[in-house]
C-alpha cells in the first residue's frame, strides 16, 4: 500500500477520533452545567452520559480506542493525587488515630452487604472480595465536591468524615493487590510479595511524610508554578506506571505522591492541577458508562437498589458514630452519614480490574454500574436535605409539647 494511502487512512481515523472525543466533551460540559444548575454532583450525570453514548446506547460512541481509556486512567491518577495534596503526613496519622473505632465499624458494616450479595449470586471468593470492596469504599471525590458546594468545610463532622475517607484510602493499598492476586490466580508467594510491597511502600511514605514535617526539597520551587505543575504531575504519572509494574495500585501510588508534598508547594499544585483534574475525572466517570451496556442494567436494577438501600443505612450508622466522636448533634451526624453514602472512583476502579480479568460475568459490571449510579446520585441529594431533616427531628419534641419545649 502506498505511503500516501496509509497516511490518509491514519488522518481520517484521527479526525474521526477527535470528532467523537470533542462531541463527548461538549456533552459532558452541558451535563456539568445542568448538574450545577440543580445543585447536584456532576458524577451521576457523567455516568448517564456515558451510558447514552456507549455500548448499546443511543449514539453508540466507540470507547474501544486508546485516547479515551488513557485519559480515563489519567483522571484516576489526578483524583487521588489531588486528594493526597489535601493532607500532610502528620494530619493523616492524627486523623486515622482519632477515628480507628468508626473506621473499623465502617469496614465491617459496609463490606458485609457486598460480600453477602456476591455469594448469593454465586460469584465465589473473587466476587465477594470485589463487591465487598465496592460497597465499603466511599467516593472521596464526590465527598470533597459536596463539602465545597455546600460550604461544610468548617462543620464539626467534616473532620471525622475526612478521617474515615483517609482510612478507606489506606485500606485500598493492600486491598487492591490482594484483589489482583485473586482475580489473576497468582500463587500465594507472589500474592504475599505484592501485598508486602504495598504495605512497605505505604509505611515508608508515611514515615517520611511524618518525620519530614513541612520541609520540601528545593527541587519543588513554588516560584515557578508551571515547572511545579509539570514536575508534580509527571511524578504522579511515573509513580503510577512504576506501581503497575510492581503490581501495586497506581491510584494509591498517586495519592502517596500527593501526600509527600505540603505547604505552599501543595497549595500551588492543587490550584494548577484542579482544572485538569475536573476535565479528566469527567472523562473517567463517563468512560465507565461508555463500556457498560444499559441493556444489561434492567435485570439487575432491583438488586442494585436493594444493595444501595442497605449500604446507605450502614453508611449512615457509620456517620452517626463518627459524628458522635466530636459531640455532634442530630444534624451533624446526619450530614456525616449523607456525605459517606456516595460511591465513585475506587468502586469504578475495582469494577475495572474485574472487567479486565474476565473472571466474573458481565452482570457484575452491570450491577456495579447501577449501584454506583444510584449511590452517586443519592449521596449529594441526601446531603442537600440532611440539615432540614435533622432540624425537623430536633424540633419534633418541642412541637409535640414535650417537657423539653
Which pairs from 144-150 meet CB under 8 Å and 24+ separation?
144/83, 144/86, 145/41, 145/43, 146/41, 146/339, 146/342, 146/379, 146/380, 146/383, 147/339, 149/39, 149/41, 149/380, 150/383, 150/384
Confidence band for 404, pLDDT divided at 50, 70 and 90:
very low
- DSSP E strand boundaries for 254-304: none
**Average pLDDT value over all residues in the chain:** 80
How many residues in the chain? 405
Mean pLDDT of the region 291-304: 82
| pLDDT surpasses 60 at 53 | yes
In sequence order, what are the residues at sequence separation of 6 or more whose Cβ sits closer than 8 angstroms to the Cβ of residue 1?
Answer: none
| Cβ contact 376:343 at 8 Å | yes
159 burial via Cβ count (<10 Å: 0-12, 13-18, 19+) = buried
| pLDDT surpasses 60 at 240 | yes
User: What local confidence, expressed as pLDDT, does residue 138 receive?
Assistant: 92
Q: What is the C-alpha to C-alpha distance for residues 400 and 83, in angstroms, rounded to an integer? A: 45
Of 37, 40, 29, residue with least CA distance to 376:
40
Q: If DSSP codes are grouped into helix, strand and coil, which group holds residue 216?
A: coil
CATH architecture of 68-393: Up-down Bundle (1.20)
User: What local confidence, expressed as pLDDT, does residue 6 receive?
Assistant: 44
pTM: 0.77
Of 155, 114, 97, 31, residue with least CA distance to 303:
114
Chain Cα centroid distance, residue 46: 14
Confidence band for 194, pLDDT divided at 50, 70 and 90:
low
More confident site: 25 or 227: 25
Q: Grid coordinates 470507547 are at which residue? A: 63
Dihedral sign of CA atoms 100, 270, 334, 351 in order = negative
Confidence band for 10, pLDDT divided at 50, 70 and 90:
low
State what percent of residues in the chain have pLDDT above 70: 81
User: What local confidence, expressed as pLDDT, does residue 363 receive?
Assistant: 85
For 340-380, what is each residue's pLDDT tens digit? Answer: 998 887 888 888 788 877 888 888 988 998 898 899 888 88
Confidence band for 115, pLDDT divided at 50, 70 and 90:
very high
Amino acid at each position: 500500500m502506498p505511503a500516501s494511502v496509509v497516511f490518509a487512512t491514519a488522518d481520517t481515523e484521527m479526525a474521526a477520533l477527535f470528532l467523537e472525543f470533542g462531541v463527548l466533551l461538549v456533552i459532558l460540559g452541558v451535563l456539568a452545567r445542568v448538574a450545577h444548575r440543580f445543585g447536584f454532583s456532576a458524577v451521576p450525570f457523567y455516568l448517564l452520559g456515558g451510558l447514552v453514548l456507549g455500548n448499546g446506547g443511543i449514539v453508540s460512541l466507540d470507547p474501544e480506542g486508546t485516547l479515551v481509556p488513557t485519559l480515563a486512567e489519567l483522571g484516576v491518577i489526578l483524583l487521588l493525587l489531588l486528594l493526597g495534596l489535601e493532607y500532610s503526613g502528620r494530619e493523616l496519622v492524627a486523623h486515622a488515630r482519632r477515628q480507628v473505632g468508626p473506621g473499623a465499624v465502617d469496614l465491617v458494616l459496609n463490606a458485609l452487604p457486598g460480600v453477602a450479595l456476591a455469594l448469593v449470586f454465586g460469584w465465589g471468593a473473587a466476587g465477594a472480595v470485589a463487591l465487598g470492596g465496592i460497597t465499603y469504599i466511599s467516593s472521596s471525590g464526590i465527598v470533597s465536591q459536596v463539602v465545597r458546594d455546600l460550604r461544610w468545610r468548617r462543620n464539626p463532622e467534616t473532620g471525622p468524615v475526612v478521617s474515615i475517607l483517609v482510612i478507606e484510602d489506606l485500606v485500598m493499598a493492600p486491598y487492591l493487590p490482594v484483589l489482583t492476586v485473586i482475580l489473576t490466580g497468582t500463587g500465594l508467594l507472589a500474592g504475599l510479595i505484592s501485598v508486602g510491597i504495598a504495605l512497605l511502600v505505604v509505611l515508608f511514605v508515611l514515615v517520611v511524610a511524618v518525620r519530614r514535617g513541612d520541609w520540601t526539597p528545593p527541587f519543588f520551587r513554588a516560584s515557578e508554578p508551571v515547572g511545579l505543575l509539570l514536575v508534580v504531575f509527571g511524578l504522579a504519572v511515573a509513580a503510577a506506571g512504576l506501581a503497575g509494574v510492581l503490581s501495586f495500585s497506581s491510584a494509591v501510588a498517586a495519592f502517596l505522591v500527593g501526600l509527600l508534598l505540603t505547604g505552599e508547594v501543595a497549595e500551588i499544585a492543587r490550584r494548577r492541577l484542579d482544572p485538569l483534574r475536573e476535565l479528566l475525572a469527567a472523562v473517567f466517570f463517563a468512560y465507565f458508562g461508555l463500556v457498560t451496556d444499559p441493556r444489561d442494567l434492567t435485570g439487575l436494577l432491583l438488586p442494585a437498589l436493594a444493595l444501595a438501600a442497605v449500604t446507605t443505612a450502614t453508611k449512615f450508622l457509620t456517620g452517626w458514630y463518627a459524628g458522635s466522636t466530636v459531640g455532634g448533634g442530630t444534624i451533624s451526624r446526619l450530614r456525616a452519614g449523607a456525605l459517606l453514602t456516595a460511591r465513585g472512583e475506587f468502586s469504578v476502579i475495582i469494577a475495572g480490574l474485574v472487567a479486565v480479568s474476565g473472571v466474573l460475568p458481565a452482570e457484575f459490571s452491570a450491577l456495579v454500574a447501577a449501584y454506583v449510579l444510584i449511590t452517586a446520585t443519592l449521596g449529594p441529594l441526601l446531603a442537600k436535605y440532611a440539615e432540614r431533616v435533622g432540624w425537623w427531628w430536633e424540633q419534633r419534641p418541642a412541637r409535640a409539647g414535650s417537657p423539653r419545649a
